[in-house]
Structure 1
């Protein structure tokens, strides 16, 4: 199943050899449910997002990635936080070991329709009361917790 493995504050983690700018979007609906996708590579539920392409801003990247991964068009409405913990590395099957570099924006749906991509097995809005019953990586749980705290300023970490 896995083309990637996340290590988080794990002394057995391999040493990072890559740093790639990327981001994700925390998008909610009118009921306060959060848009999540079940990743095909890990089985975990995660925020939609990805890495930047040359020639685009990070905001454009996030709008593009959310469309590709969920079928939804979004508008960026704010910044949840910056997540660059060197103790979170992602090891890929090809030998790349990437240090986390994720800027998480807030967003709202402005069009499109929910659709699964080749990167996910399921996409839906999930009520926060369900988060404890589904597999979510600790780093995504941190973002969900920051959102639930209704912080006045973005997380800078």
Structure 2
């Protein structure tokens, strides 16, 4: 996303300005990338310091797969050619108040991204670090959704069907 001005001009920024104290729905796309060793790419978020998958809000005029690809590119410098849905989470238990005091119920789709090109170059306004991690070597502090999405990925790979909850 980049600057504060970019966020303020985004769909969610405009909605938040209009409804400053409301719990808003945040529709988001998350990108899951794996390297040759099966490790996943995580970023250390600039806003809260948690390690997480690249994720962000969908904009008017784009699809959720496009959102996951765009957000991953913006946050990491890596561009995917293909996005396959592995998980959709929608419940009220995914309501979260961010570091700015804004409350959102997250509706997020996670996509396994493939055909990746580019160089890993995190945008410092989005991510202070990025790295590849195996399930037995996850960094801390870890976003609470990372283990859930890894479980969903394992289920998807066994069944060929996305997990919806």
State the TM-score, normalizing by the size of structure 1.
Answer: 0.81
Tell me the matched-pair count: 142
Which of 88, 104, 113 aligns to 1:107? It is 113
Could you tell me how far 1:51 is from its partner in structure 2? 0.7
CA contact (8 A) 1:63 1:73 kept: yes
Partner SS state of residue 79, structure 2:
strand
1:37 equivalent in alignment to 2:43: yes
Q: Which residue of 126, 150, 163 corresponds with 1:155? A: 163
Contact 2:69 2:83 in 1 (8 A): no
Q: Which protein has the bigger strand share?
A: 1
What's the CA shift for 1:137?
2.2
Pick the structure with more helix per residue: 2
Give the TM-score taking structure 2 as reference length. 0.78
* From 24, 38, 43, the counterpart of 1:18: 24
Deviations 1:64-85 (A, max 9, x none): 1111100001123421110112
> How big is the alpha-carbon RMSD for the aligned residues of Structure 1 and Structure 2?
1.9
Contiguous gaps of at least 5 residues in structure 1: 1-14
Partner of 1:130: 137
Cα offsets for 1:63-120 (capped at 9, x unmatched): 1111110000112342111011211222135543100110001112421100121111
* Structure 2 unaligned spans of 5+: 1-20
Once structures 1 and 2 are overlaid, which stretch shifts more, 84-93 or 55-64? 84-93
**Aligned mates of 1:25, 1:79 — CA distance in 2:** 10
Task: Give the direction of change, closer, same or farther, for the CA distance of 1:85–1:93 in structure 2 (3 Å limit).
Answer: same
Contact 1:88 1:100 in 2 (8 A): yes
Output the CA distance in 2 between the equivalents of 1:75 and 1:84. Answer: 26
Give the distance between the partners of 2:48 and 2:158, measured in 1 at CA.
29
Are residues 26 and 93 of structure 1, via their aligned partners in 2, closer, same or farther at CA, if it must alter by over 3 Å?
closer
